């Protein structure tokens, strides 16, 4: 919905929408990757970590009519979730969050001072692929918390592929293992647990020989590219 405001014979156009709960969930997840975000025109949101080892992209229900930068996504999310059923309007310089008689105004950041995700396609070679259920993902994350493990690994030994949560540098450390598939390949893909910042759900997981893990959510249009640890052998 578009509204036009007039002040001193100057027209200010603001586009009004309501942000869905699914989009709020995406934004909360992205804030865990990077508190900066550059929102481009259209219905695609993306983020990249400051270390450039996590890249995520999502297609959302809303279509944004302009490009704008947010420096502290968590503070904006606080405004968006402070009241239920709010209307959000996007002006030339700021976002307005309103309901009834209450109104918050949040100003955009200078795009030059934030870490924005690149607007490009990433080619993925499917060296090894497997399906990871929401329950399995939850188990991995819980196991990492219980064992205080720094790494989740996908290991192929030429006959089976296993997910291991543990410390590859310490063979006798506490660990969790689960066989996930059969394979004739031999490889070791190590991902730091702190980089497994993905939304809950079922995933198609692709191990690339370019040393990254590509995770595609099969319940929604959310994708992640996660850099593997340098010790990986793929």
For 16-68, the pLDDT digits (tens) are 788 999 999 999 999 999 999 999 999 999 999 999 999 999 999 999 999 99
Tell me which residue has tokens 């959510």.
217
Residue 176: which of 206, 226, 139 has the closest Cα?
139
Counting as low any pLDDT under 70, the low residues of the chain are 1-15
Residue-level pLDDT at 2? 36
Contact of 161 with 179, CB cutoff 8 Å: yes
All domains of the chain, ordered by start, with CATH?
2-113 (3.70.10.10), 128-227 (3.70.10.10)
Query: Smallest Cα–Cα separation from 32: which of 199, 204, 216?
Result: 199
What is the rounded CA–CA span in Å between residue 142 and residue 144? 5
Main-chain dihedrals φ then ψ at residue 74, nearest 5 degrees: -60, -40
pLDDT value, residue 47: 97
pLDDT for res 15? 66
In terms of phi and psi (left: phi > 0; alpha: psi -120 to 50; beta: otherwise), the region of 145 is alpha
User: Distance between CA atoms of 69 and 38, rounded to whole angstroms?
Assistant: 4
pLDDT of 171 reads 80
pLDDT of residue 9: 42
Cα 68 from Cα 12, distance rounded (Å) = 16
């Amino acid at each position: 919905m578009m509204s036009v405001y007039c002040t001193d014979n100057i027209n200010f156009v603001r586009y009004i929408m309501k942000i869905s709960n699914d989009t709020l969930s995406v934004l909360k997840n992205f804030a865990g990757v990077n508190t900066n975000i550059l929102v481009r025109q259209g219905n695609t949101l993306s983020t990249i970590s400051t270390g450039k080892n996590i890249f995520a992209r999502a297609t959302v229900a809303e279509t944004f009519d302009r490009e704008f930068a947010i420096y502290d996504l968590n503070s904006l999310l606080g405004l968006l979730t402070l009241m239920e059923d709010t209307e959000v309007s996007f002006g030339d310089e700021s976002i307005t969050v309103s309901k009834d008689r209450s109104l918050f105004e949040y100003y955009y950041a200078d795009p030059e001072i934030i870490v924005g995700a690149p607007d490009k396609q990433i080619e993925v070679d499917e060296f090894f692929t497997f399906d990871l259920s929401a329950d399995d993902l939850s188990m991995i994350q819980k196991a990492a918390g219980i064992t205080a493990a720094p790494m989740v690994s996908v290991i192929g030994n030429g006959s089976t592929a296993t997910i291991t949560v543990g410390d590859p540098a310490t063979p006798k450390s506490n660990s969790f293992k689960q066989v996930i598939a059969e394979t004739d390949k031999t490889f070791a893909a190590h991902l730091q647990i702190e980089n497994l910042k993905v939304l809950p759900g079922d995933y198609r997981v692709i191990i690339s020989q370019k040393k990254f893990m590509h995770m595609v959510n099969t319940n929604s249009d959310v994708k992640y590219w996660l850099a593997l640890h340098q010790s990986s052998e793929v």
